[in-house]
Amino acid sequence: MKGEEQEMMTVTKRYEDAREIFRKAGVDTDAAIETLKRVPVSMHCWQGDDVTGFDQKGPLTGGIQTTGNYPGRARTPEELMADMDRALSMIPGKKKINVHASYAVFENGEFADRNQLEPRHFARWVEFAKERGMGLDFNPTFFSHPMVKDGQTLSSPDAAVRRFWIEHGKACIRISQYFAEETGVPCVMNIWTGDGFKDVPADRMGPRMRYKESIEEILAEPFDKNKVKPCMESKVFGIGVESYTAGSAEFALSLAAQNEGCLPLMDNGHYHPTELVSDKISALLCFYPEIALHVTRGVRWDSDHVLLLDDETKEIAREIVRCNALERVYIALDYFDASINRVSAWAVGMRSFQKALLMALCTPNEKLKALQDESRFTELMAVIEAVKMLPFGDVWNYYCQECGVTDDFGLFAEVQEYEEKVLSKRAEGR
């Protein structure tokens, strides 16, 4: 028997043993795997080029920052799509692709500014997604552009600035509808701006009122609510806007609540470090039919480190599963690390969230809920600790094998090979 066949048999045998252990704990691992295969996780295109995009040459603005200078950054749509393909080939299960408006692909020397973008400028992304049987999500890009005036876009006191960005937002609604119609999958369209102030503002209300009116004008653009899911992402602060952001948590939640069809989007890097998005999910699900997430890893601040299988990532996934909300929560990743291989960053982050979902699905949630409801708290604590030692790794390895992707230990070799053959040949460091 060849080594590969032997390895597959070992993975299968270990899974069969694990399945029995989980069965005794009240978990059906076959069902968990089947569910996981159908849960889409949206992979953000902007990890591949340090949020540079294709429509401008200026610096990254908007209160966000990539750090690092790892060689091999994608510089063209072709390079970015090839790198995404390599990452996707290492990620099991269902995926979507999340595109920013700054990633329009202009052909034959054409250029359109952000307020004039049209669906056809994203035809290459539609082709990419359709060929791979995936849906697309979208984001207007309200940063890294000369029309960001004194850090402001939709909340600017300058009516011409606001008009430019309102037109951009409307164009993005039309592009989102096109994405949904072409792929047959609803398109989540997320609105985030870095509008705010470095120091204590003299007027907090004015910018927020202008922001509200601008977003409501964008949302007045006609769209099919079953196809386009506009979201409002909040943020507590950004680099250079430490004292005030127009789109605070209360602002975003209220805006989404008052505008039918608009979803709140929580990015777990966008709150005070002691606040946990895992705790906020059920609160929002009591009121909103659907919500959206940007899952990231903030290290001390909104640093957008690569997602790992850490406690909060596991708790976020557990909450989605425990709330029976896999169909109500749109999951997207949002981080950008320029200090390591970017293909690996994608693959490790996406796999981390999928592992978290698998662990959540392989947890005897009903049994734990019953213990809580019956106030059997001592037993609950003991069982929660016992669940942590269940052989999740054997289920994950089998899932990867079933999906035809590498296991965790094989990932680096694949990344290294691609780096040697492709990424290292790119002349420019960043």
Ligand X SMILES: C[C@H](O)[C@H](O)[C@@H](O)C(=O)CO
Kindly tell me which residue out of 50, 182, 334, 337 binds ligand X, with binding defined by CB under 6 A. Answer: 334
CB hemisphere CA count around 308 (13 angstroms): 7
Tell me which of 95, 100, 212, 270 is the catalytic residue.
270
Of 217-256, binders to ligand X (CB under 6 A) are 233, 235
Kindly tell me which residue out of 66, 139, 344, 397 binds ligand X, with binding defined by CB under 6 A. Answer: 139
Closest CB to ligand X among residues 293, 317: 293
Question: Catalytic site residue 369?
Answer: no
The token pair that represents 341 in the structure block: 């291989």
Question: Catalytic site residue 137?
Answer: no
Q: Does 195 bind ligand X (CB under 6 A)?
A: no
Annotated binding residues for Mn(2+), as ranges?
270, 302, 304
Kindly tell me which residue out of 49, 83, 267, 319 binds ligand X, with binding defined by CB under 6 A. Answer: 267
Residue 375 backbone zone (phi > 0: left; psi -120 to 50: alpha; other: beta): left
- Contact (CB, 8 A) for 270 and 225: no
Tell me which of 280, 294, 314, 355 is the catalytic residue.
294
- The closest of 291, 355, 276 to 323, measured between CA atoms, is 291
The token pair that represents 68 in the structure block: 């690092």
Q: What's the one-letter identity of residue 416? A: Q
Question: Catalytic site residue 311?
Answer: no
CA-based end-to-end distance of the chain: 46
Q: Which helix (H) or strand (E) holds 156?
A: none
Kindly tell me which residue out of 290, 312, 334, 414 binds Mn ion, with binding defined by CB under 5 A. Answer: 334
Kindly tell me which residue out of 32, 36, 51, 246 binds ligand X, with binding defined by CB under 6 A. Answer: 51
Question: Catalytic site residue 267?
Answer: yes
Of 56-75, binders to ligand X (CB under 6 A) are 64
Show the site string, 284-303: x = touches ligand X by CB under 6 A, - = not: ----------x-------x-
Q: Does 192 bind ligand X (CB under 6 A)?
A: yes
Question: Catalytic site residue 94?
Answer: no
The token pair that represents 80 in the structure block: 């970015």
Q: Does 39 bind ligand X (CB under 6 A)?
A: no
d(CA 169, CA 69): 32
Q: Which stretch binds Mn ion (CB under 5 A): 95-103, 166-174, 219-227, 289-297?
A: 289-297
Strands annotated E in 92-192: 95-100, 135-139, 187-191
Q: Does 304 bind Mn ion (CB under 5 A)?
A: no
Tell me which of 192, 212, 305, 314 is the catalytic residue.
192
Which listed option, Mn ion, ligand X, none, makes contact with residue 221 (CB within 5 to 8 Å by class)?
A: none
Q: Does 396 bind ligand X (CB under 6 A)?
A: no
Closest CB to ligand X among residues 293, 390: 293
- Cα separations in angstroms, 249 against 218, 245, 252, 265, 293: 20, 9, 5, 10, 13
- The closest of 282, 219, 275 to 248, measured between CA atoms, is 275
Backbone angles phi, psi at 359, to 5 degrees: -60, -40
d(CA 231, CA 2): 51
d(CA 252, CA 332): 18
Question: Catalytic site residue 302?
Answer: yes
Closest CB to ligand X among residues 296, 354: 296
Kindly tell me which residue out of 83, 267, 290, 312 binds Mn ion, with binding defined by CB under 5 A. Answer: 267
d(CA 97, CA 48): 12
Q: Does 96 bind Mn ion (CB under 5 A)?
A: no
Q: Which residues in this chain contact Mn ion in the complex, by CB under 5 A?
A: 267, 294, 334
Q: Which residues in this chain contact ligand X in the complex, by CB under 6 A?
A: 46, 51, 64, 139, 192, 233, 235, 267, 294, 302, 334
